[in-house]
Amino acid sequence: MDLSRLLNCGTPFVTNIFVRTASTLDYGAIVCANALTSTAQGATLVVTVDTAANDKCIGVTQVSSAQASADASNVNAMNAYRFNIQTDGIPDRGTISGGDWLPTCINPEALYFGLYSNTVTTGTVTASNAMVNSITATTGTVVTVTSTSEVGIAGGWLMDGAGVSSTGTTPTYTGQLRYVSNVTAVTKFGLLTAMNVSTDSNLLWASTPNYKSTVISTGGNLLRSHSGNTAGKLAQGLLIVDNYVTHDQAPMHPLRSWVDDGLNGLSGHRMYSELLISKFYSVNNE
């Protein structure tokens, strides 16, 4: 997640916070308060594919744990700026060793850009970030994907990703961007303009603004287009304020149907949702 802006036009508050995970922490990851009572303390990832994801959010990391580990001040500084992360870059020290620390933006009113990942794990749709499962080949204004939900479809966007298909091959079609104008059935996206879709497509789906229809990646720093082996989404405490796109033919800008619908042949295309974290720990401390 990249910082977009603050609702009150203030200054981002970045400070080192106590963190702990069993693997490296990415830049831009949402970290949350944990419930552990032993010496294994520190903010951690909560990226389960359910509505518990992002519960008790503390903030968003501003460097990765690997970057912090490689920083000269990590091991040499004897003041509070030291990150104290081991050389393997994994923030898994116990409290007896002083724990691990990472610079983190902790503003409750911050908005972030969440990039939609086009990563596909070959042959394993449950681990893929793009929609690659149960796509019906079509050429027209209806795209059918099994097990979607009506929530957050109309008013959203579909885009061909630039990744690979679930078989590891190059998708038949890529570089199309379409506005979802209606829902023709539970499993169908009704498009404003016809789209070419194949069973090997790599589809990115941005839900409608004002919804909490999101799926966060396993690294806590990207957005997925579906929740595992189905194509649905969940209310994961990330409110979509607006959707954005950037590509080689245009700079980053908000997606609007009269500007962006029907575009073809895009390259370097990336899609984002601007997000407000609604399960912030300091506001919803229950």
Cα dihedral across residues 128, 224, 161, 163: positive or negative: negative
pLDDT at 250: 96
What are the extents of the domains in the chain?
A: 2-111, 113-277
> What DSSP assignment string belongs to 30-75?
EEE-----SS--SBB----SSTTTTTTEEEEESS-HHHHHHSHHHH
**pLDDT tens, position by position, 142-154:** 888 876 666 668 8
Residue segments in the chain with a per-residue pLDDT below the cut of 70: 36-37, 76, 123-124, 147-152, 185-187, 284-286
Candidates 267, 282, 275; CA nearest to 241 is: 275
pLDDT at 221: 96
pLDDT at 147: 62
pTM: 0.92
pLDDT at 137: 82
DSSP class of residue 174?
-
Contacts (Cβ under 8 Å, ≥6 apart) of 105: 3, 12, 13, 14, 59, 60, 62
